[in-house]
Chain A
């Protein structure tokens, strides 16, 4: 009878997999479907293309419900993304401000104006210093009189109680908090100097605030990322439920688990990508909407500050995150629900 078997159990030709043991010992027909072997990989990729297109078309065919899902994902992605963009902008703003820290050196009272001035000239030459302002004792007194309103009281004093002051503006490359701090330390060790005041506290506070904001954004981002995974997972669960019959048939005619999973993973992928694209649109629209008032505000401060949008890197990162979360959510749902569907 063996000879009569028309096409013996020629093993599966899916190229990428190990051919499984054929259940029947029928001899493989000589030259049977030799062309298939070469096209196995090609067929595999063309199937991927097919499924990718098909799963996208399925989403587009039910535009309203797909759009809802995409919008939910977009909002969840746009929020942390927008916060990061804001933080980036504020960070850029304060980089300019950090340089604005000033160091004031108060001379000892027994140092006369001339010696103080010589020290000031010497300090001006240092690379850490961008500019210097010297205030001698008389000027200091004048300034105090005019600003404090205690001028009359000073008239009763024999001596000028105020020291000479050197105000230094650190060079921009030494503008960061730690470097200015170090520079201040060395200055305070100078013998002529009584006291050094670093006008830095607010910069530190600002940096700490940014640290808090940055971490909160990360936390929010992580939570919303989790939300995206759950949203997509739930949507995929429904899709699996809707295509239960198909899954059963596919399993009955020999579909492997990866084959069954594939359309759902692609569906998740498209949800993620679509959501990310919409999020990109939302963030850019928000930036556009904000840019007018921000420019006005900047102009009032005589600043050339410009709101910077999503860079190409940030945009690709957003897209990548979206597709990754989409696949992840789909994978979880598929793992959880697909194995339950077994032909009985």
Chain B
């Protein structure tokens, strides 16, 4: 079961230092190549759950397996290498505004030590996929919100990660742009990438035929799978 799943949570709890319990005894499994939504009111623990997968936080209890690997056993020094295999899209996209679109997308490859020729090829392939090939020399500040988010997606997938996470990727976008972004995620899922999207945009999610997991006050109340 653990071996088949991309993400496997086994009774995971996370308490912050103030005593606030963000997640309590959450268990679920996401198969390789599956796409799922994570939903719930704000403060329900969506972001915490994603942070645990990214090793930005460590759980107080329980075990997390990503790709069959127990995250507990990950030493701090190895975390960067782990993160190179997980693409993340943020609500505020975390773009660097003093760099061009190309340089923003190239960052994960630079970090991984990819040669500059290969970087050029892969960045353009990635920008092409999100439809921004023509904007490679623009600065992010000159782009619209939807375009900025697509740059963030291009950066998340440029490494060809087997797992793609997104935290409210459509939070600041109008419904039309949101649907477009979601279709983009679906396209990546169709070529085999496991996708987990945290979103409270229930209207949008319900249109898509994917599993929906719902968190309520730190507890997984639906879509355990």
Binding site for B on A (CB under 8 A): 1-2, 4-9, 11-17, 19-26, 33, 35-36, 39-40, 42-44, 46-47, 245-246, 248-257, 259, 342-344
Query: B200 contacts the other chain (Cβ, under 8 Å)?
Result: no
Bound CA–CA A255/B155 (angstroms): 14
Residues A259 and B111 in contact, CB atoms below 8 Å apart = yes
CB of A249 within 8 A of CB of B112, answer no
Stretch at the interface among B36-44, B113-121, B210-218: B113-121
Q: How far is the CA of A16 from the CA of B78 in the complex (A)?
A: 14
4 closest Cβ contacts across the A-B interface? A24-B67, A20-B81, A14-B113, A4-B192
Give the interface segment out of B21-29, B84-92, B143-151, B173-181: B84-92
Instruction: Say yes or no: A1 contacts B32, CB within 8 Å.
Output: yes
| B171 at the A interface (CB under 8 A) | no
Contacting pair A21 B111 (CB below 8 A): no
Contact across chains for B69 and A23 when beta carbons are under 8 A apart: yes
B108 touches A253 (CB 8 A): yes
The 14 sampled A-B contact pairs (Cβ below 8 Å) are: A6-B191, A7-B160, A7-B162, A8-B162, A12-B113, A20-B78, A21-B69, A23-B82, A24-B32, A24-B85, A24-B162, A47-B113, A246-B96, A253-B88
Asked if B141 is at the interface of the complex by the 8 Å CB criterion, the answer is no
Give the distance in Å from the alpha carbon of A143 to the alpha carbon of B108 in the complex.
Answer: 93
Does residue B220 face the partner (Cβ distance < 8 Å to A)? no
Interface residues of B (CB under 8 A from A): 3-4, 6, 31-34, 51, 54, 56-57, 66-69, 77-78, 80-86, 88, 94-96, 107-108, 110-116, 118, 155, 159-163, 191-193
- On whether the beta carbons of B31 and A1 are closer than 8 Å, the reply is yes
A35 touches B96 (CB 8 A): no
Q: Report whether A22 and B85 are in contact in the complex, using a CB–CB cutoff of 8 Å.
A: yes
Interface of A is mostly: loop
> A10's closest neighbor in chain B, by CB?
B160
| Chain B neighbourhood of A251, CB < 8 A | 80, 83
A-side contacts of B66, CB under 8 Å: 23-24
From B82, B114, B163, B191, A13 is in contact (CB under 8 Å) with B114
Q: Please give, as numbers and ranges, the residues of chain B lying within 8 Å of A5 by CB-CB distance.
A: 32-33, 162, 192-193
What separation, in Å, do the CA atoms of A257 and B155 have in the docked complex?
20
- Taking a contact as CB atoms under 8 Å apart, the answer to whether B81 and A12 are in contact is yes
A254 touches B80 (CB 8 A): yes
CB distance from A142 to the nearest CB of B (A): 91
- For B67, what are the chain A residues with a Cβ–Cβ distance below 8 Å? 9, 22-26
The complex places the Cα of A140 from the Cα of B94 at a distance, in Å, of: 97
Asked whether A253 and B118 contact (CB < 8 A) given A5-B32, A13-B112, the answer is no
B83 (CB) vs chain A CBs: closest residue? A254
CB-based contact A26/B162 at 8 Å: yes
Check A254 against B162 for contact (C-beta < 8 Å): no
Smallest CB separation, A91 vs chain B (Å): 51
Assess whether B32 is in contact with A36, with CB atoms less than 8 Å apart: no
Smallest CB–CB gap between B207 and chain A, Å? Answer: 24
Q: In the complex, are the beta carbons of A249 and B115 less than 8 A apart?
A: no
| B118 and A6 form a contact (CB under 8 A) | no
Question: Do B116 and A43 touch (CB < 8 A)?
Answer: yes
Question: Chain A contacts of B32 at CB under 8 A?
Answer: 1-2, 4-5, 24, 26
Q: Are B114 and A1 in contact (CB under 8 A)?
A: no
Closest-by-CB residue of B relative to A51 is: B110
Q: Which residues of B contact A250 (CB under 8 A)?
A: 107, 111
Smallest beta-carbon distance B46→chain A, Å: 15
Complex CA gap A66/B69 in Å reads 47
- Residue among B66, B85, B113, B191 with the highest chain A CB neighbour number at 10 A: B113
Closest-by-CB residue of B relative to A46 is B116
- How many angstroms from the CA of A263 to the CA of B74 in the assembled complex? 27
Say whether B112 contacts A254, CB under 8 Å. Answer: yes
The residue in chain A whose Cβ has the minimal distance to the Cβ of B56 is: A343
Closest to A246 in B: B96
A14 to B66, CA, bound (A): 22
CA distance A13 to B10 in the complex (A): 32
Query: How far does the alpha carbon of A46 sit from the alpha carbon of B69 in the complex, in Å?
Result: 33
In the complex, the answer to whether B56 meets A344 with C-beta atoms within 8 Å is yes
Give the shortest distance, in Å, between B56 (CB) and chain A (any CB). Answer: 5
Min CB gap B166→A, angstroms: 13
Q: CB distance A39 to B115 under 8 Å?
A: yes
Q: Which residues of B contact A343 (CB under 8 A)?
A: 54, 56
In Å, the complex CA distance between A321 and B113 comes to 31
C-alpha gap A14/B54 in the complex (Å): 21
For residue A339, give the distance in angstroms from its CB to the closest CB of chain B.
Answer: 10
Whether the pair A1, B33 counts as a contact (CB closer than 8 A) is yes
For A26, A35, A47, A253, the residue with the greatest tally of chain B CB atoms inside 10 Å of its CB is: A253
How far is B167's CA from A252's CA once the two chains are assembled, in angstroms? 13
Q: Decide: A39 and B118 in contact? CB cutoff 8 A.
A: yes
Residues of A within 8 A of B94 (CB): 245, 248-249, 252
Q: How far is the CA of A20 from the CA of B114 in the complex (A)?
A: 16
Complex alpha-carbon distance, A5 and B112, angstroms = 20
A291–chain B nearest beta-carbon distance, Å? 48
Residue of B nearest to A32 (CB): B160
Shortest distance from the beta carbon of B120 to any chain A beta carbon, whole Å: 13
Cα–Cα distance between A6 and B31 once the two chains are bound (Å): 15
